[in-house]
Chains A and B, each alone.
Chain A
Amino acid sequence: MTAFGLAVAVGAMFALGTFLLLQRDLIRVVWGLAIVSQAANVYLLAMGGITSGTADSVPVLAGHADHVPETADPVVQALVLTAIVIGFGMTAFALVLSYRVYEEHDTLDVTELGDRE
């Protein structure tokens, strides 16, 4: 069920991101990029899966109780953390850049940008 939910979420985010990417307004394009990269993050997170933990795989939890809870793969969590940081920085940069484009061109409409050489 979780897998199904995640698949729907990833699919919906990719669809929304792609839709926004194809818009004429630059800010929407940036939104689209942000959503697509978040979709990739969710996908990456889903790839790790959730497994039933054992005292061997999670030694920290072994001493707390007789029951070891389900655990997620820590490697993908670390990867996603890195990807989120990079994505955050790049989204901020893309926003700054679109403001700069607005300053230079007086417009955020993609179709009008090409006219000035």
Chain B
Amino acid sequence: MAATVPSDAAIAAQPAGPATESLVIAPMLIVLVVAVGTLLVGDRPRARAIVSLAGGVGYALAVAAIDWYVVLAPNAPGVATYQVGDLPAPFGITLVVDGLSAFMLTMVAVIGIASLVFSVRVLPELDRRSYYFPLFHFLALGVTGAFLTGDLFNLFVWFEVMLMASYIFVAYYGGPQHTRAAFWYVALNLLASAIFLLGVGGIYATTGTLNMADLARRLAAPAAYGIDPTPVVGLLALLLSVFAIKAGLVPFQFWIPTAYRAAPPQITALLAGATKKVGIYAIIRLSFTVFAGAQIGVDLTVPGTELGVAGDSPLVLVGAALFVMAAASILVGGIGAVGRSSLEGVFAYSSIGQVGFIALPVAIAATTTSSELRQAAILAALVYALNHSLAKGLLFLSVGTVRSATGTSRFDDLGGLAGRSPPLAIAVFVGSLALVGIPPLSGFFGKFLVFDAAVEAEASSALVLLLVGSLLTIAYATRTWNRSFWGARTEAVEEAAVDPVQVAVLVALAAAIVAVGVGFEPVYEFADAAAEAALDSDGYVEAVDPCEPGEMTEDCALEGATGNGGEHA
């Protein structure tokens, strides 16, 4: 075993034994092995399906173990790290799991398994020879890596791993609109990658490090490290725009409707439920864990006017930018969803609007000075993100069921689905109600906490926005329901053969939505731990424990390298 106890400080704080450390890398290893395994079994659909499902279960078990041993157990350490190759931070690659990463991973595991079962059921009819399952696992690998990495450049690399798989899924069906959607998706993301590199390079030149913990430490005490952190504000803005593209916030939302329409529905569930959350996660992690400690005078007011923001922390910029983007997302997504003519069109636009609901509390958290409100707002964002993953995952999967049963998802060709398959209708009904936010479903607590954060922050403009957004949600959810599930049965619906396994997945997800709502207490505690971890910059730094430049202790000894290895720039 390469894993060893990281440092005296970590031992003194909590017993983070080798077993916990290996847990950190377990989900990545499992999903990587499964990805390669599905490649190796070759053109045998049944073997691929078995390996895939076993891998999915193993992944979920590993994530559950992380949740328990790192975050939720009575004397859990809260943060666990793994230094790849046993090189100390900041020289080596650090993997970190704390409450925030664990919460996100859990979300991915749940929606990933649902999507996987669905894929196994749908796929043999489509194409036996495709590399669907290996790609599926590489997508999961990219998402997992992005949640676990403690290093800015590795975040870029994991983003690319995730995106490469998703490019192919967008182009998967290979028709005219699929290739076109894929091309613009690829082009946009390549441009975003270049901007990401600019941000990463600039931060390296400014601070001399890419390790997030080291970065947080240096930004909190720039004078001690002889750096001038001012450019970091602009670089953070560059990074924010990249993450906003991944999260699909307005004005970077334009790729979502076409890409979501083009990808297979079960992958769209994963794109909305998991890869979108990577953008949200990166915004929260960088803004609050890494950049929050920096004391930099920010003055972005337009000369001669009162317009703009000013403060003494880069968070001011994050708050203002996110607020504008969230507001626009809620409106554009909601209004766009009302007028769509197909199921996935509605859900894709709804996805844009819902991400606004997640970003708005994050904006409140960045703007406020009260640490209690900040934690409450992040908690609200996380609970809402969980609800979005479950509900939107369910709804996108239901598009797949409707499509494979009736061959269409356009409202004009649908009608009376409720009578044709009551379980399907009930599951979709629960998903829609969760989006709207009816108690006792998960969506109610998500909405409630977001509203609560807005009230606490006394942000009346945010409250108005949330109300308008909620009304729009009710409008498009009702319209979708009426047009496809109520009314007279169309020819396509009359001849539909609804797949029982697919419906079972949907019902399971609906049950999960109800379970999260009814047994909200543990979910709340988990989300609270996640929000606390996101804000606990010191705990994060201490757990990773990067070496001081020039420090030559036994822990920090690097073969062949000497003391100034940490001093670049």
Partner of B194, one of A39, A56, A94, A105: A39
How far, in whole Å, are A47 and B65 apart by their CA atoms in the complex? 41
How far, in whole Å, are A87 and B192 apart by their CA atoms in the complex? 12
Please tell me if A113 contacts chain B, counting CB pairs below 8 Å: yes
Distance in Å: Cβ of A80 to nearest Cβ of chain B: 9
> Would you call A94 and B186 a contact (CB within 8 A)?
yes
Residues of B within 8 A of A82 (CB): 153, 157
Distance in Å: Cβ of B434 to nearest Cβ of chain A: 32
Partner of A40, one of B176, B194, B569: B194
Within 8 A of A (CB), among B134-180: 153, 156-157, 160, 164, 167, 171, 174-177, 179-180
Given A73-B568, A86-B193, A89-B164, A100 contacting B204 (CB threshold 8 A): no
How far, in whole Å, are A92 and B562 apart by their CA atoms in the complex? 40
Binding site secondary structure of chain A:
helix
Distance in Å: Cβ of A36 to nearest Cβ of chain B: 5
> Would you call B568 and A83 a contact (CB within 8 A)?
no
> Would you call A21 and B191 a contact (CB within 8 A)?
yes
> Would you call A104 and B176 a contact (CB within 8 A)?
yes
> Would you call A97 and B182 a contact (CB within 8 A)?
yes
> Would you call A37 and B194 a contact (CB within 8 A)?
yes
Partner of B191, one of A33, A59, A97: A33
Interface size class of B (residues with CB under 8 A): 35 or more
Please tell me if B198 contacts chain A, counting CB pairs below 8 Å: yes
Please tell me if B440 contacts chain A, counting CB pairs below 8 Å: no
Residues of B within 8 A of A93 (CB): 164, 167, 186
Residues of A within 8 A of B195 (CB): 40
How far, in whole Å, are A26 and B187 apart by their CA atoms in the complex? 10
Residues of B within 8 A of A49 (CB): 205, 569
B197 nearest CB neighbor, chain A only: A40
Please tell me if B130 contacts chain A, counting CB pairs below 8 Å: no
> Would you call A97 and B190 a contact (CB within 8 A)?
no
Distance in Å: Cβ of B170 to nearest Cβ of chain A: 10
How far, in whole Å, are A86 and B153 apart by their CA atoms in the complex? 13
Residues of A within 8 A of B176 (CB): 104-105, 116
Residues of B within 8 A of A98 (CB): 183
How far, in whole Å, are A37 and B171 apart by their CA atoms in the complex? 22
> Would you call A47 and B563 a contact (CB within 8 A)?
no
- A contact residues vs B (CB 8 Å cutoff): 21, 26, 29-30, 33, 36-37, 39-41, 43-44, 47-49, 56-57, 59, 73, 75-76, 79, 82-83, 86-87, 89-90, 93-94, 97-98, 100-101, 104-105, 113-114, 116-117
- Sample of 20 further A-B pairs with CB below 8 A, known A44-B204, A47-B201, A56-B562: A21-B187, A30-B187, A33-B191, A37-B190, A37-B197, A39-B194, A40-B201, A56-B564, A57-B564, A59-B560, A75-B204, A75-B210, A76-B204, A79-B153, A90-B160, A97-B186, A100-B174, A104-B180, A105-B176, A114-B180
